[in-house]
Amino acid sequence: MIFENIKIALTSMVHNKLRTLLSLLGIIIGVAAVVAILNLGRSATISITESMNIGGVDLVTVYPSGNSRNINVFDTQFGEQLMSNVSGIDVVLPSYTSSTRIRSGQEIKNASIQGVTSNYLPVMDAELLYGDYFTALDNINRRQVVIIGKNLADDLFPAGNAVGSYISIFRGQSKRYQIVGVLDAKEAILGASFDDTVFIPGNTFEQRYMNMSNVSSYVCKVSEGVNATAVQAEIDSYLDKLVGSDNYFTYTAASIVEMADQVTGTFTSFLAAIAAISLLVGGIGIMNIMLVSVAERTREIGIRKALGASPRVIKGQFLVEAITLTVLGGIIGIGLGMFLSYAIVNVVGWELYFSYTAIAISMGFSMFVGIFFGWYPAAKASKLDPIEALSYE
């Protein structure tokens, strides 16, 4: 019986193509909008998260403030102290940071300079284009060796491999440093560019370059599977007791990722809810067309009742027809929504991630609209008196 009713519904749609299309437009537009918005919301969330993952989502950085210069806590040994008192940290990397000018031949460039440990660049996933990383002996012996970013290498040594060459670093007077490695191009992490930075051993920075003992920052590598924001909160709690909240601040990209997820999720849900309103408008259009259909087929209803069709059968016929209309509109709307999603992400430059939840919700809501707005016309048809229906003009 259901398949027979579906066949009748499809036949009616074919005989009234324009009316059917106009009645389906609300459903098609509503479903397409919901699918496109949820697909784009999911794609935006994942794209933002992945871009931030490149930027150190598993890192927590501690920055001593200017107020802490007289506190003898933030030294090179502080990393071990932090690891002993805060769980979930694999390694702590102290770093000295400054800005400088460097020269090769007649070419002079402004650059950032960082004094780091021998394991700093490998832990930060900074890959070498050519050359080698620092060794522990380079750091212990305070050797005047450097690793430079790709942009600096390209600008200072356009002819090619810079390894083995020397650059002069200015700090009052210039000192010569030998290049032992050149980094491959890398996305910035925690707002710092690797491509325009000179890296030297931490002990060399501390005792030969700047003669300072205050570490600029500590990069904490969070253990795999551990939530970085939870580690950040534990670090904050420990440092509040140790030095006071005014003497440091911490940062992790993970908290920004979580905030971005919440913002995009809320915004997407809000837009999807607005788009869903058009489904209700489409439902009203379905109800209207079904009422017209009942009026047009009053004599048909009378004949069927005269031949023994029960009110339940009549109601089922028109209810199935309403559901068929909305499901058909839902299928077309899903296809249109997918097409719009694909077109928009290509323009924006994201990767498309389909939200199968959006498809399920849209189809379910379409069927609900068909049942909800088709019930009254179906019930009206089932209650028609057969004698009055047969005499209807």
Helix axes 298-306, 253-296, angle to 10 degrees: 70
Dist. CA 355–CA 143, nearest whole Å = 55
90 within 8 A of 221, measured Cβ to Cβ: yes
Burial 325-334 (b: 16+ CB within 10 A, else e): bbbbbbbbbb
| Per-residue confidence (pLDDT) for residue 16, from 0 to 100 | 66
Query: Has residue 122 got a pLDDT over 80?
Result: yes
Matching residue, tokens 């109800």: 287
| Per-residue confidence (pLDDT) for residue 179, from 0 to 100 | 93
- The model's confidence at residue 244, banded by pLDDT at 50, 70 and 90, is confident
Q: What percent of the chain has pLDDT over 90?
A: 12
- The model's confidence at residue 327, banded by pLDDT at 50, 70 and 90, is confident
337 within 8 A of 25, measured Cβ to Cβ: no
Matching residue, tokens 């356009």: 158
251 within 8 A of 61, measured Cβ to Cβ: yes
Residue 211's contacts (CB-CB under 8 Å, 6 or more residues apart) are none
Query: Has residue 148 got a pLDDT over 70?
Result: yes
The 3-class SS string of the chain reads CHHHHHHHHHHHHHHCHHHHHHHHHHHHHHHHHHHHHHHHHHHHHHHHHHHHHHCCCCEEEEEECHHHHHCCCCCCCHHHHHHHHCCCEEEEEEEEEEEEEEEECCEEEEEEEEEECCCHHHHCCCCEEEECCCCHHHHHCCCCEEEECHHHHHHHCCCCCCCCCEEEEEECEEEEEEEEEEECCCCCECCECCCCEEEEEHHHHHHHHCCCCCCCEEEEEECCCCCHHHHHHHHHHHHHHHCCHHHEEEECHHHHHHHHHHHHHHHHHHHHHHHHHHHHHHHHHHHHHHHHHHHHCHHHHHHHHHCCCCHHHHHHHHHHHHHHHHHHHHHHHHHHHHHHHHHHHHHHCCCCCCCHHHHHHHHHHHHHHHHHHHHHHHHHHHCCCHHHHHCCC
The mean-pLDDT minimum among 122-131, 189-198, 301-310 falls in 301-310
| Per-residue confidence (pLDDT) for residue 160, from 0 to 100 | 75
- The model's confidence at residue 133, banded by pLDDT at 50, 70 and 90, is very high
Higher-confidence residue of 376 and 186: namely 186
| Per-residue confidence (pLDDT) for residue 356, from 0 to 100 | 78
Mean predicted lDDT score pLDDT of the chain: 79
Please return the burial class of 76, using the count of CB atoms within 10 Å of its CB with bins 0-12, 13-18 and 19+.
middle
Mean pLDDT of 269-286: 73
- The model's confidence at residue 1, banded by pLDDT at 50, 70 and 90, is low
- Give the amino acid at 143: R
Dist. CA 68–CA 74, nearest whole Å = 8
Query: Has residue 119 got a pLDDT over 80?
Result: yes
- The model's confidence at residue 180, banded by pLDDT at 50, 70 and 90, is very high
Dist. CA 357–CA 38, nearest whole Å = 8
Written as six digits, the tokens of 259 are: 């905030």
Mean pLDDT of 63-67: 78
Query: Has residue 386 got a pLDDT over 70?
Result: no
Query: Has residue 33 got a pLDDT over 90?
Result: no
| Per-residue confidence (pLDDT) for residue 283, from 0 to 100 | 74
Instruction: List the one residue out of 311, 210, 224, 5 whose CA is nearest residue 13.
Output: 5
Mean pLDDT of 269-282: 73
Written as six digits, the tokens of 43 are: 């794609």
Written as six digits, the tokens of 298 are: 């009053």
pLDDT digits over 339-364, tens only? 988 888 888 777 787 777 777 877 78
- The model's confidence at residue 147, banded by pLDDT at 50, 70 and 90, is very high
Instruction: List the one residue out of 227, 205, 222 whose CA is nearest residue 214.
Output: 205
Mean pLDDT of 55-67: 78
Strand pairing report for 166-171 and 197-201:
unpaired
147 within 8 A of 139, measured Cβ to Cβ: no
| Per-residue confidence (pLDDT) for residue 183, from 0 to 100 | 92
- Give the amino acid at 1: M
Query: Has residue 192 got a pLDDT over 70?
Result: no
pLDDT digits over 71-96, tens only? 678 888 888 889 999 999 999 999 98
- Give the amino acid at 221: K
Counting every residue written for the chain, the total comes to: 393
Mean pLDDT of 212-222: 84
Q: What percent of the chain has pLDDT over 70?
A: 79
| Per-residue confidence (pLDDT) for residue 191, from 0 to 100 | 57
Mean pLDDT of 172-194: 80
Residue 193, number of CB atoms within 10 A of its CB? 14
